[in-house]
Structure 1
Amino acid sequence: MRLNVSAKIAPVFTHEGAPAIRHLSAEQQLRRSVMSCLLWEKEFYEDGKTIADRIVEYAEKVPPAVLAGVAIEARETFNLRHVPLLLLDVLSRTGKGDRIVADTVDRVIQRADEMGELLAIYWRDGRKMVPAQMRNGLARALCRFDEYRLAKYDRDGVVKLRDVLRMVRPRPANDEQSALFRRIKDRTLSTPDTWEVALSGGADKRETFERLLREEKLGYLALLRNLRGMATAGVEADLIRDAILARKGARRVLPFRYVAAARAAPQFEPFLDQALQAAIADLPRLGGRTIVLVDVSQSMEWAMSQKSDMVRMDAAAALGAIVNAERLRLFTFSERVVEVPPRRGMAGVDAIKRSQVHSGTALGAAVAAMNAVPHDRLIVITDEQSADQVPPPVAERAYMINVASNRNGVGYGRWIHIDGFSEGVLRFIHEVERSH
Structure 2
Amino acid sequence: MSRFNTSGVRAHEGSSLYARDARTELFLLAVSNMVGQYTFYESADERDSRYAELVRTVGLIDPQWTARFLAWLRSAANMRTAAIVGAAEFVKARLDSGAVTEGVSNRAVIASVLQRADEPGELLAYWVSRFGRSLPMPVKRGIGDAMLRLVTERSYLKWDSPERGYRFADVLNLTHPRAQRELFGYIVKAPHQPDLPIPASLPVLAKRAELMALPVAERAALLEDPEALRAAGITWEALSGWLQAPMDARAWEAVIPSMGLMALTRNLRNFDAAGVSDEVAERVAARLADPDEVARSRMLPMRFLSAHRAAPSLRWAWALEKALQHSLAGVPALPGRTLVLVDTSGSMNVRLSQHSDLLRWDAAAVFGIALASRCADADIVSFSAPLSRYPQGWLPFRLSSGESVLRAVERWMTGGYFIGGGTNTEDAVRAHFAGHDRVVILTDEQATSGDVERALPASTPLYTWNLAGHRLGHARGGVPNRHVFGGLSDQCFAMIPLLERGERAEWPF
TM-score (norm 2): 0.77
Q: Which residue of the other structure, out of 460, 483, 498, is the alignment partner of 1:416?
A: 483
Instruction: Letter of the 2:406 partner, please give it.
Output: M
Distance in 2 (alpha carbons) for counterparts of 1:249 and 1:266: 23
Distance in 1 (alpha carbons) for counterparts of 2:331 and 2:234: 35
Q: Which residue of the other structure, out of 365, 371, 378, is the alignment partner of 1:328?
A: 378
Asked if the contact 1:334/1:357 (under 8 Å) is kept, the reply is yes
Distance in 1 (alpha carbons) for counterparts of 2:269 and 2:323: 17
Q: Which residue of the other structure, out of 218, 242, 255, is the alignment partner of 2:259?
A: 218
Tell me what 1:367 maps to: 429
Asked if the contact 2:71/2:83 (under 8 Å) is kept, the reply is yes
Structure 1 residues 365 and 314 mapped into 2: Cα distance closer, same or farther (>3 Å)? same
Structure 1 residues 49 and 172 mapped into 2: Cα distance closer, same or farther (>3 Å)? same
Give the superposition deviation at 1:105. 2.3
Asked if the contact 1:262/1:272 (under 8 Å) is kept, the reply is yes
Structure 1 residues 365 and 245 mapped into 2: Cα distance closer, same or farther (>3 Å)? farther
Distance in 1 (alpha carbons) for counterparts of 2:495 and 2:254: 40
Structure 1 residues 325 and 21 mapped into 2: Cα distance closer, same or farther (>3 Å)? same
Distance in 1 (alpha carbons) for counterparts of 2:136 and 2:496: 38
Distance in 2 (alpha carbons) for counterparts of 1:162 and 1:428: 45
The answer to whether structure 1 residue 179 and structure 2 residue 182 are counterparts is: yes
Tell me what 1:316 maps to: 364
Distance in 2 (alpha carbons) for counterparts of 1:430 and 1:350: 29
Instruction: Letter of the 1:159 partner, please give it.
Output: Y
Instruction: Letter of the 2:426 partner, please give it.
Output: G
Tell me what 1:207 maps to: 250
Instruction: Letter of the 1:347 partner, please give it.
Output: R
Q: Which residue of the other structure, out of 145, 163, 167, is the alignment partner of 2:170?
A: 163
Higher alpha-carbon Rg: 2
Report the secondary structure of 2:473's partner residue: coil
The answer to whether structure 1 residue 358 and structure 2 residue 420 are counterparts is: yes
Deviations 1:340-388 (A, max 9, x none): 12355212322443325322211111122233x2211211111111111
Asked if the contact 1:320/1:349 (under 8 Å) is kept, the reply is no
Give the superposition deviation at 1:305. 2.4
Asked if the contact 1:77/1:424 (under 8 Å) is kept, the reply is no
Deviations 1:210-251 (A, max 9, x none): 1222x2x11111111122122111122442343243247433
Distance in 1 (alpha carbons) for counterparts of 2:484 and 2:190: 48
Distance in 1 (alpha carbons) for counterparts of 2:382 and 2:168: 47
Q: Which residue of the other structure, out of 337, 342, 346, is the alignment partner of 2:394?
A: 337
Give the superposition deviation at 1:122. 1.0
What pairs with 1:255-274 in structure 2 (closer than 5 Å)? 255-267=301-313, 268-274=316-322
Give the superposition deviation at 1:325. 2.1
Which structure dedicates a bigger proportion of its chain to helix?
2
The answer to whether structure 1 residue 19 and structure 2 residue 19 are counterparts is: no
Distance in 2 (alpha carbons) for counterparts of 1:237 and 1:45: 47
The answer to whether structure 1 residue 52 and structure 2 residue 48 are counterparts is: yes
Give the superposition deviation at 1:429. 2.8
Tell me what 2:507 maps to: none
Report the secondary structure of 2:318's partner residue: helix
Asked if the contact 1:245/1:274 (under 8 Å) is kept, the reply is no
Q: Which residue of the other structure, out of 409, 412, 418, is the alignment partner of 1:349?
A: 409
Distance in 2 (alpha carbons) for counterparts of 1:130 and 1:185: 19
Instruction: Letter of the 1:243 partner, please give it.
Output: V
TM-score (norm 1): 0.89
Distance in 2 (alpha carbons) for counterparts of 1:158 and 1:356: 41
Q: Which residue of the other structure, out of 446, 450, 454, is the alignment partner of 1:385?
A: 446
Deviations 1:175-229 (A, max 9, x none): xxx111112213478353211111223244122321222x2x1111111112212
Tell me what 2:493 maps to: 426
Distance in 1 (alpha carbons) for counterparts of 2:130 and 2:328: 42
Asked if the contact 2:342/2:441 (under 8 Å) is kept, the reply is yes
Distance in 2 (alpha carbons) for counterparts of 1:228 and 1:403: 28
Asked if the contact 2:88/2:110 (under 8 Å) is kept, the reply is no
Report the secondary structure of 2:440's partner residue: strand
Distance in 2 (alpha carbons) for counterparts of 1:283 and 1:406: 24
Tell me what 2:225 maps to: none
Distance in 1 (alpha carbons) for counterparts of 2:406 and 2:366: 8
Give the superposition deviation at 1:318. 1.7
Structure 1 residues 238 and 328 mapped into 2: Cα distance closer, same or farther (>3 Å)? farther
Tell me what 1:154 maps to: 160
Give the superposition deviation at 1:257. 0.7
Larger CA deviation: 111-120 vs 185-194:
185-194
Structure 1 residues 318 and 241 mapped into 2: Cα distance closer, same or farther (>3 Å)? farther
Instruction: Letter of the 1:15 partner, please give it.
Output: H
Asked if the contact 2:31/2:73 (under 8 Å) is kept, the reply is yes
Instruction: Letter of the 1:379 partner, please give it.
Output: V
Give the superposition deviation at 1:282. 5.7
Structure 1 residues 10 and 279 mapped into 2: Cα distance closer, same or farther (>3 Å)? closer
Larger CA deviation: 47-56 vs 136-145:
136-145
Structure 1 residues 200 and 427 mapped into 2: Cα distance closer, same or farther (>3 Å)? farther
Give the superposition deviation at 1:93. 1.9
What pairs with 1:390-401 in structure 2 (closer than 5 Å)? 390-392=451-453, 393-394=456-457, 396-401=460-465
Larger CA deviation: 392-401 vs 416-425:
392-401
Larger CA deviation: 47-56 vs 203-212:
203-212
Larger CA deviation: 39-48 vs 300-309:
300-309
Consecutive unaligned residues of structure 1, counting only runs of 5 or more, are 1-8
Report how many residues are paired: 420
